[in-house]
């Protein structure tokens, strides 16, 4: 006997719940596809940020992807061990270290980014291009507001 569908009107009207449901469908696929590149989600994010922002600090990386300093250290240790990232002293302030992609890191990132873009297109194929842009714009707006709210709590 078929069951009646559950009334989820209230839950699906909550942005956080709907965003979590959408994410929970995409995240396992992302992990599966990144496994082909031997990358975890946080590692991919670090490679992406270093590609776009060469020479940033470990703290800025951790803040950007919302990872605690100990967890960021573990992520970086794996990337450093694999020869994908390197540390250098900042030329302007030798006390500070910066992070850069190695040539191998850049090559791997380019392949992984193409994989991520393919998955992103598949996951949003039901949206028209304008709808996809609007979704990203609104998510960015919510994320920026959350960042501002968290900053007020400190």
| Strand ranges inside 4-126, DSSP E | 85-90, 93-101
Does residue 90 share a domain with residue 36? yes
Does residue 135 share a domain with residue 117? no
Q: What is the pLDDT of residue 154?
A: 45
Q: Does residue 15 lie within any of the structural domains?
A: no
Does residue 138 share a domain with residue 116? no
Q: What is the pLDDT of residue 89?
A: 86
Does residue 113 share a domain with residue 141? no
Alpha-helical runs (H) found in the chain: 9-12, 15-35, 41-52, 58-65, 69-81, 103-123, 129-152
Q: What is the pLDDT of residue 138?
A: 94
Does residue 47 share a domain with residue 96? yes
Query: Is residue 87 predicted with pLDDT exceeding 50?
Result: yes
pLDDT tens-digit readout, 46-74: 999 999 999 999 999 999 998 998 999 99
Does residue 78 share a domain with residue 60? yes
Residue span of the structural domain in which 60 resides: 20-123
- CATH number of the structural domain spanning residue 56: 1.10.10.10
* Partners of 90 in beta bridges: 93
Q: What is the pLDDT of residue 151?
A: 63
- Please, what is the end-to-end C-alpha distance for the chain in angstroms? 54
Q: Does residue 51 lie within any of the structural domains?
A: yes
- Number of domains the chain contains: 2
Query: Cα 29 to the chain's mean position, in Å?
Result: 14
> Three-state DSSP class for 54?
coil
Q: Does residue 14 lie within any of the structural domains?
A: no
Does residue 137 share a domain with residue 72? no
């Amino acid at each position: 006997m078929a069951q009646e569908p559950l009334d989820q009107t209230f839950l699906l009207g909550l942005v956080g719940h709907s965003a979590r449901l959408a994410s929970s469908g995409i995240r396992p696929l992302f992990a599966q596809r990144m496994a082909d590149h031997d990358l975890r989600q946080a590692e991919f994010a670090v490679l992406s940020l270093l590609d776009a922002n060469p020479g940033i600090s470990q703290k800025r990386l951790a803040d950007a992807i919302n990872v605690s300093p100990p967890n960021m250290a573990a992520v970086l240790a794996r990337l450093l061990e694999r020869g994908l990232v390197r540390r250098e002293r900042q030329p302007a302030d030798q006390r500070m270290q910066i992070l850069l992609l190695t040539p191998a890191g850049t090559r791997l990132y380019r392949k992984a980014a193409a994989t991520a873009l393919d998955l992103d297109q598949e996951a949003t194929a039901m949206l028209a291009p304008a709808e996809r842009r609007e979704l990203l714009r609104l998510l960015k707006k919510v994320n920026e507001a959350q960042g501002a709210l968290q900053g007020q709590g400190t």
